[in-house]
Amino acid sequence: MPRAMPTPAPEVESSTQAAMHAELHFIREERDRLRCELVDSRAEVADYRELQTELARARARIATLEREMARLSATLDRVRARARGAPHP
């Protein structure tokens, strides 16, 4: 004669369901927290990339200004040498 599977008592089933619902709630909260963290991380990466671009532009500008200063310094040296009567190179 086949035996029927025992059915859990309603209290056991409801406490199991409550535990499952609590776990599901926790998982959803964790998922939402991680999504926010991901959004924040992506914003930080975008900010970092923007700062890197600005830094590269600033370095290029500094290099341009340094070349211009060197050119003007050489011109000033030639003018001073002429004013002293020295032959210019």
If one compares 6 and 78, the residue with the highest pLDDT of the two is 78
Given a cut of 70, is residue 3 above it in pLDDT?
Answer: no
| Res 13: pLDDT | 72
For the stretch 60-80, pLDDT in tens is 999 999 999 999 999 999 999
| Res 24: pLDDT | 97
Angle (CA) 27 31 35, round 5°: 170
Q: Taking residues 38-45, report their average pLDDT.
A: 97
Virtual torsion, Cα 30, 36, 42, 45, nearest 10 deg: -90
C-beta separation of 88 from 78 below 8 A: yes
